[in-house]
Amino acid sequence: MSKADSHSRNLRISWAPLALILVGGVLGLFLRYYEVKASRGPEFEAIPLEFSDYIGDERRFSESTYDILQADTTTLRRYQDKAGNVYWLFVAYFKEQKYGSQIHSPRQCLPGGGWRIDSIDPYSLALSAGLTQPINVLTIERQKARQIMFYWFETRSGSIRGEFALKFDLVKNALMFRPTDAGFVRLTVQSSDGRTETAKELGARFLQNLESSLKNALPFATASS
């Protein structure tokens, strides 16, 4: 290889990292400032306070909690069934996911609230028509009280289990000129017998009963088309 060819090759190699940095910078600016707005927001009134064997009411967190969450719209419900099992349902909606920030995950928030996370496992929630939904199930404990928590994210792409997958989905939806809005669904269950396996079964049944209502409450039901 001649000196001229070698020099030309070295120049091409040295320009490659710079090109990647420039492309990454342009992409970052695009995701930060370009926004496609959703045609409608959530309709949390679609989630009934009474259904099947469950009776609930609307509750609120402290104002400082909402300041930290930075969600645009939320609903917090406390349900109880006839056997005395308690279900806390929290749903939050974000009009947009800002590039470089992240929806608060229970993985970070729970320890700050005094809860210890004993386990985090992937879970496939059985739905109607033989479908399943990927979610997370956590065993948490505070002051010797053990509970089961289910959570996941909803976006224009469907249900998302993981936080890193949620970041990737933000980039994908922005590049596809879709709204980058997102929903967060969390259910905490404390069974009357104190057993975590019982609480997991109860929580799964609760979410199965609420499947269609949750889909109607969030503006993503027909977004995947």
Three-state helix/strand/coil letters over the chain:
CCHHHHHHHHHHHHHHHHHHHHHHHHHHHHHHHCCCCCCCCCCHHHCCCEECCEEEEEECCCHHHHHHHCCCEEEEEEEEECCCCEEEEEEEEECCCCCCCCCCCHHHHHHHCCCEEEEEEEEEEECHHHCEEEEEEEEEEECCEEEEEEEEEEECCEEECCHHHHHHHHHHHHHCCCCCCEEEEEEEEECCCCCHHHHHHHHHHHHHHCHHHHHHHCCCCCCCC
Q: Which residue has the higher pLDDT, 26 or 144?
A: 144
pLDDT of residue 144: 81
Q: Where do the structural domains in the chain lie, given as residue ranges?
A: 1-33, 44-217
pLDDT of residue 223: 44
pLDDT of residue 220: 87
pLDDT of residue 69: 85
Q: What is the mean pLDDT of residues 93-98?
A: 83
Would the pLDDT of 224 be above 50?
no
The CA distance from 85 to 194, in Å, is 9
The percentage of the chain sitting over the pLDDT mark of 70, rounded to a whole number, equals 79
The CA distance from 148 to 135, in Å, is 13
The CA distance from 104 to 101, in Å, is 9
pLDDT of residue 19: 54
**With bands split at pLDDT 50, 70 and 90, how would you rate the model's confidence at 59?**
very high
pLDDT of residue 2: 56
Q: Are 135 and 151 in contact (CB under 8 A)?
A: yes
**With bands split at pLDDT 50, 70 and 90, how would you rate the model's confidence at 11?**
very low
pLDDT digit string, tens, across residues 123-182 = 999 988 888 999 999 999 988 888 999 999 999 889 999 988 988 888 887 777 778 889
pLDDT of residue 176: 76
